[in-house]
């Protein structure tokens, strides 16, 4: 026979305990839902460009189409593939950040050449939407950052600026030095973000107004990755936006 003596648990403590168990169960349920939502959004995100890729590849393979049309299809295929590569890169980074196996290796490099190259890279996508991309970079100074990561940060911000801009507008990328810090701003005159939603845009999976989001391809992870990358540099990011008029994202590293 065992003499089991349970410690005395008062009514209040029992209530508290069952409350915490309930809370734990709710948290688990919420995590499960978030994970499912996340997977569904990633699957959607990858399957949309894949559908295009398959379609355009099939058309490009047809014998009867003109060489000019074929070239056009191939360039769409190349561009869509690039976007998918970026998305997968963001996802991998997010996973690494969660495991804390993520590192940045800082180096010094010239600001002007670095940002000019980024502008060259994204130039064609801006031209396609007739949006003027302007680079204002302070005279040659050195940036201290992980250049690949910084490229990823700026590309993500430019990608959003382009995506949420109206045709025939401007996007400005400004880069300046303040004391030992580099301040980078991406300014657009796009659809903007409602004031009460601004604080959430850096959260994983967050997308402004579900209904409006449907008309823009996106997963709501770009800015979460940007924020983590900036913070891994010991820097900060902020956003100012006027709903309907445009947004400015500013990174300080």
Binding site residues, ligand ADP, CB under 6 A: 160-161, 164, 188, 190-193, 201, 206-208, 213, 218-224, 247
Q: Which is nearer to ligand ADP, 49 or 192 (CB)?
A: 192
Q: What angle do CA 183, 153, 250 make, to 5 degrees?
A: 35
Is the CB of residue 129 less than 8 Å from the CB of residue 163? Answer: no
- Kindly report the three-state secondary structure assignment for every residue of 111-129: HHHHHHHHHHHHHHHHHHC
For residue 187, give both structure tokens.
């300014």
Distance, in Å, from the CA atom of 98 to the CA atom of 201, rounded to the nearest integer, reads: 19
Q: Which residue's CB atom is positioned nearest to ligand ADP?
A: 218
Q: Which residue has the tokens 């196996």?
A: 101
Query: How near is the Cβ of 130 to ligand ADP at its closest, in Å?
Result: 17
Question: Measured from the CB of residue 72, what is the shortest distance to ligand ADP in angstroms?
Answer: 26
Instruction: Tell me whether residue 73 or residue 189 sits nearer to ligand ADP (CB atom).
Output: 189
Q: What's the min distance (Å) between Cβ of 87 and ligand ADP?
A: 9
CA distances from residue 185 to 159, 162, 216, 250 in whole angstroms, order as listed: 13, 14, 23, 4
Q: Quick one: 102 or 109, whose CB is closer to ligand ADP?
A: 102
> How many whole angstroms separate alpha carbon 107 and alpha carbon 200?
32
Beta carbon of residue 77, minimum distance to ligand ADP (angstroms, whole number):
21
Pick the closer one to ligand ADP by CB: 137 or 171.
171
Q: Closest distance between ligand ADP and the C-beta of residue 235, in Å?
A: 18
């Amino acid at each position: 026979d065992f003499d089991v003596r349970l410690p005395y648990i008062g009514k209040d403590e029992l209530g508290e305990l069952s409350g915490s168990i309930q809370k734990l169960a709710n948290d688990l349920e919420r995590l499960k839902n978030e994970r499912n939502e996340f997977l569904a959004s990633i699957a959607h995100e990858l399957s949309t460009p894949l559908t295009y890729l398959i379609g355009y590849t099939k058309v490009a393979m047809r014998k009867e189409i003109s060489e000019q049309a074929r070239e056009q299809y191939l360039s769409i295929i190349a561009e869509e593939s690039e976007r998918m590569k970026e998305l997968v890169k963001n996802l991998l980074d997010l996973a690494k950040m969660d495991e804390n196996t993520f590192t940045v290796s800082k180096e010094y490099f010239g600001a002007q050449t670095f940002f000019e190259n980024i502008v060259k890279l994204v130039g064609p996508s801006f031209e396609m939407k007739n949006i003027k991309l302007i680079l204002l970079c302070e005279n040659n100074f050195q940036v201290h950052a992980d250049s690949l990561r910084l490229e990823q940060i700026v590309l993500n911000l430019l990608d959003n600026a382009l995506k949420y801009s109206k045709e025939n507008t401007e996007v400005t990328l400004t880069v300046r030095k303040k004391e030992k810090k580099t301040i980078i701003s991406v300014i657009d005159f796009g659809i903007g973000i409602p004031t009460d939603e601004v604080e959430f845009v850096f959260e994983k999976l967050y997308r402004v107004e579900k209904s409006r989001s449907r008309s823009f391809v996106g997963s709501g992870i770009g800015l979460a990755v940007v924020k983590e990358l900036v913070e891994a540099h010991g820097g900060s990011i902020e956003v100012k936006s006027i709903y309907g008029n445009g947004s400015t994202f500013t990174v300080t590293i």
